[in-house]
Amino acid sequence: MTEIAGSRIAVVGGAGLIGSHLVDQLTHEDVSVVVIDNLVRGRRGNLAEALTSPRVKLVVADIRDQEGLRKAMEGSDYVVHLAALWLLQCREDPRACLEVNVVGTQNVIEAARELHVKKVVFSSSASVYGEPSYLPMDESHPFNNRTAYGASKIAGEQMLRAFYEMYGLNYVGLRYFNVYGPRQDHRGAYVSVFMRFLDRIERGEPPVFFGDGGQTMDFVYVEDVARSNLLALKSLATDANYNIASGSETTLNELAALILRLKGSTLQPVYQRDAVPGIQRRRATVEKAKKELGFTATTSLEEGLKKLIAWRASARAREA
């Protein structure tokens, strides 16, 4: 295990969902943290507690700004790179996806090499796998991706691999599956399936499925995902990618039934069977992450949903 005590860690995209939870966890370590975020999707409020620590500071910068990014990263021993456009944004604007997820990631990698960073932890995605050829998917699963977002994550993984080969820049890539939890976007065009279900239920409207509700996902709670980043920083692992997931499959029908029960609702889902669904199944094997990083997801879906629902109610009350 690598000793990170006394180091400075740059968390790029650290005001977002996963990043802010990681920053919270880093406040319990003997490290200093610089959060680098353009505050487009990330929010300063996500860091409200962390920023009370004198060892945490926020720098508002964009990863497309090479000079500003490098200046913000100066003095960092480690970098965790989480900044990215989301899947739907990439589908709607592939050019922005290229500029942020590919060129922006390249800027992070180049700055890390120039500044002699010890390791980069990169947020990749299960999107690189596309439609599964087999289940559960391990890290050797072929890249069946057909999305701009997935392509951008493959590009990030491959450039890190190249920089490791050319310059010895250590890295770990984390392929997140279906992340959820407090601080999830509950406004705007890119809200998650959780928020869409909750929005409709609270308006007295049934959840709507595109398809038969049999589509499956591998849900993993955000605090578990944040912890995987910390474990990756501390591990001796390098030049490797890992699935970060619960390792279990949940249908959207099962998810809706659980949310309806937790909300005390008797609504019944509505199906739009003529709609074209996306990826039909997701389930990861997480043995590699368990063996080499010491990672296991510990939060059950029901427990995580209770926390998400409670946070959402609190956030909406503050806004009101």
Residue 205 lies in a domain: no
- Residue 176 pLDDT: 98
User: First and final CA of the chain: distance in angstroms?
Assistant: 46
pLDDT-derived band at 193, boundaries 50, 70, 90: confident
Q: How far is CA 317 from CA 184, 196, 278, 313, 320, in A?
A: 16, 18, 34, 6, 5
Question: pLDDT category, 278, cuts 50, 70, 90?
Answer: confident
Say how many domains are in the chain.
1
Q: What is the mean pLDDT of residues 123-137?
A: 97
User: Is 193 inside a domain boundary?
Assistant: no
- Quickly state the pLDDT bin for 188 (edges 50, 70, 90): low
Q: What is the pLDDT of residue 186?
A: 67
CATH label of the domain that carries residue 101: 3.40.50.720
Classify residue 306: in a domain, yes or no.
no
pLDDT for the residue numbered 151: 98
- 3-state class of 312 per DSSP? helix
Q: Is the pLDDT of residue 79 over 80?
A: yes
Tell me the pLDDT of the chain averaged across its residues. 95
Which residue range(s) make up the domain with 102? 8-179+219-245+283-298
- Residue 188 placed within a domain: no
How buried is residue 56: exposed, middle or buried, by Cβ count under 10 Å (0-12/13-18/19+)? buried
Average pLDDT over residues 13-36: 98
- Residues known to be catalytic: 149
Looking only at the bridges linking them, the beta strands covering 216-217 and 250-251 are antiparallel
Does residue 274 lie within any of the structural domains?
A: no
Whether 237 is in a domain gets the answer yes
Minimal CA–CA distance to 160: which of 109, 100, 230?
A: 109
Residues ≥6 apart with Cβ < 8 Å to 197: 207, 255, 256, 259
Q: How confident is the model at residue 190 (pLDDT cuts 50, 70, 90)?
A: low
Give a yes or no: residue 87 inside a domain.
Answer: yes
Local confidence band at 191 (pLDDT 50, 70, 90 cut-offs): low
- Flag whether 199 is in a domain: no
List, for residues 49-68, the tens digit of each pLDDT value.
999 999 999 999 999 999 99
Task: Give the Cα separation of 1 and 219 in Å (integer).
Answer: 28
d(CA 46, CA 133): 38
Q: What is the pLDDT of residues 200-223, one digit of tens each?
A: 999 999 998 888 889 999 999 999
